[in-house]
Structure 1
Amino acid sequence: MVRCILILCASVAVSMAKEPLDVSADLAKLLENSQVPGMAAAAVLKGEVVAAGTAGVRKLDEPQKVELGDHFHVGSCTKSMTASLAAMIIADGKIGWDTKVSDVFKDFEIHPDYREATLRQMLSNSGGVPHELKNPSWDRNRSGPEQRKALVKDILSVKPDYTPGQGRVYSNGGFAIGGAALEKVTGRAWEDLMQERLFKPLGITSAGFGAPATNGKVDQPYGHHLVNGKLVAVNPQPDGDNPAAIGPAGTVYMSVLDFAKYAGFHLGDLKKGPLSQTQLDDLHRPVPPGDDYACGWVTTKRDWAGGATLTHNGSNTMFFAVMWLAPAKDFAVVAVCNSGDGAKVCDQAASLLIGKCVPK
Structure 2
Amino acid sequence: MNRRSRDNAAGQTIRRHWRRSACVALLVSWCAVVAASQPADSTPDLDAFARKAMQTFDTPGMAVTVVEGDTIATHTYGVRKLDNAALVDPHTIFPIGSNTKAFTTAALAILVDQGKLRWDDRVGDKLPGFRMYDAYASSEMTVTDLLVHRSGLGLGEGDLMMFPTSDRSRAQLVHDIRYLKPAHSFRGGYDYDNVLYIVAGELVEAVSGQSWEDFVQQHILDPLQMHDTKTSIDATPPDKVSLHAKNTTAVRGVGPQAVLKTVMTGKVFAPAGALQVSAADMGPWLRLQLDSGKLDKNTRIFSEKAAQMLWTPQTLIPISAAPKPLALAQPQFEAYALGFEVQDYRGHKIITHLGGVLGGVSAVVVIPEKHAAFAIMLNSEDVGTLFAMREHLLDTLLGLPSPDWIASYKQVFDEVNAGAVAALKTPAKSVHPERGPSLPLASYLGTYRDPWYGTATLGRNEKGALTISFDRSPGMHGTLEHVQYDTFRTHWSMPDVEDAYVTFALAPDGSIDQMTMKPVSPIADFSWDYQDLRFTPVRASK
Corresponding residue of 1:5: none
Instruction: State whether residues 64 and 74 of structure 2, in contact with CA within 8 Å, keep that contact through their aligned partners in structure 1.
Output: yes
The 5 A counterparts of 1:151-190 are: 151-190=173-212
Please give the per-residue CA displacement for 1:277-305, whole angstroms capped at 9, x wherever unaligned: 221111100114566110111111124xx
Specify the code of the residue in structure 1 equivalent to 2:240: Q
Give the 3 Å change call, closer, same or farther, for CA 209–174 of structure 1 in structure 2. same
Partner of 1:208, secondary structure, is: coil
Which of 53, 78, 82 is the matching residue for 1:56? 78
Instruction: State whether residues 300 and 309 of structure 1, in contact with CA within 8 Å, keep that contact through their aligned partners in structure 2.
Output: yes
Corresponding residue of 2:352: 311
Shift of 1:140: 6.0
Gaps of 5+ in 2: 1-41, 250-254, 318-333, 401-542
Please give the per-residue CA displacement for 1:244-297, whole angstroms capped at 9, x wherever unaligned: 222111111111122232122111164333112221111100114566110111
Which of 376, 379, 388 is the matching residue for 1:338? 379
Larger radius of gyration: 2
Gaps of 5+ in 1: 1-19
Partner of 1:167, secondary structure, is: coil
Provide the rounded CA distance (Å) in 2 between the counterparts of 1:135 and 1:350: 30
Please give the per-residue CA displacement for 1:200-257, whole angstroms capped at 9, x wherever unaligned: 122211111344774xx9642111122113322135xxx4325422211111111112
Shift of 1:93: 2.1
1:254 equivalent in alignment to 2:262 = no
- Larger relative contact order (Cα-Cα within 8 Å, sequence gap ≥ 6): 1
Corresponding residue of 1:231: 257
| Residue range with higher mean Cα deviation, 30-39 or 264-273 | 264-273
Partner of 1:95, secondary structure, is: coil
Provide the rounded CA distance (Å) in 2 between the counterparts of 1:43 and 1:220: 21
Which of 228, 237, 240 is the matching residue for 1:220? 240
* Alignment TM-score, normalising by the size of structure 1: 0.82
Which of 75, 79, 83 is the matching residue for 2:97? 75
Shift of 1:28: 2.3
Give the 3 Å change call, closer, same or farther, for CA 154–210 of structure 1 in structure 2. same
Provide the rounded CA distance (Å) in 1 between the counterparts of 2:235 and 2:81: 10
Specify the code of the residue in structure 2 equivalent to 1:255: S
Specify the code of the residue in structure 2 equivalent to 1:337: L
Partner of 1:321, secondary structure, is: strand
Corresponding residue of 2:62: 39
1:266 equivalent in alignment to 2:266 = no
Partner of 1:155, secondary structure, is: helix
1:84 equivalent in alignment to 2:106 = yes
CA RMSD of aligned residues (A): 2.7
Corresponding residue of 1:126: 150
| Residue range with higher mean Cα deviation, 76-85 or 219-228 | 219-228
* Alignment TM-score, normalising by the size of structure 2: 0.56
Partner of 1:312, secondary structure, is: strand
The 5 A counterparts of 1:106-117 are: 106-108=128-130, 111=133, 112-115=135-138, 116-117=140-141
Partner of 1:32, secondary structure, is: helix
Shift of 1:113: 3.3
Corresponding residue of 1:299: 342
Instruction: State whether residues 101 and 114 of structure 1, in contact with CA within 8 Å, keep that contact through their aligned partners in structure 2.
Output: no
Partner of 2:359, secondary structure, is: coil
Corresponding residue of 1:353: 393
Partner of 2:264, secondary structure, is: coil
Specify the code of the residue in structure 2 equivalent to 1:122: L
Instruction: State whether residues 179 and 248 of structure 1, in contact with CA within 8 Å, keep that contact through their aligned partners in structure 2.
Output: yes
| Identity rate, percent | 25
Provide the rounded CA distance (Å) in 2 between the counterparts of 1:296 and 1:213: 23
Provide the rounded CA distance (Å) in 2 between the counterparts of 1:26 and 1:293: 30
Partner of 2:88, secondary structure, is: coil
Instruction: State whether residues 42 and 335 of structure 1, in contact with CA within 8 Å, keep that contact through their aligned partners in structure 2.
Output: yes
Give the 3 Å change call, closer, same or farther, for CA 319–186 of structure 1 in structure 2. same
Shift of 1:26: 4.0
Give the 3 Å change call, closer, same or farther, for CA 21–68 of structure 1 in structure 2. farther
Specify the code of the residue in structure 1 equivalent to 2:108: A
1:195 equivalent in alignment to 2:222 = no
Specify the code of the residue in structure 2 equivalent to 1:133: G
Task: Tell me the number of residue pairs that the alignment of Structure 1 and Structure 2 aligns.
Answer: 329
Please give the per-residue CA displacement for 1:122-154, whole angstroms capped at 9, x wherever unaligned: 111122333221762679686xxx711111100
Instruction: State whether residues 224 and 284 of structure 2, in contact with CA within 8 Å, keep that contact through their aligned partners in structure 1.
Output: yes
Shift of 1:106: 2.0
Provide the rounded CA distance (Å) in 2 between the counterparts of 1:139 and 1:316: 9
Partner of 2:200, secondary structure, is: helix
Partner of 1:353, secondary structure, is: helix
Please give the per-residue CA displacement for 1:83-124, whole angstroms capped at 9, x wherever unaligned: 111111122222221122221232356541332111111111
Provide the rounded CA distance (Å) in 2 between the counterparts of 1:135 and 1:347: 27
Provide the rounded CA distance (Å) in 1 between the counterparts of 2:392 and 2:186: 40
Instruction: State whether residues 245 and 260 of structure 2, in contact with CA within 8 Å, keep that contact through their aligned partners in structure 1.
Output: yes
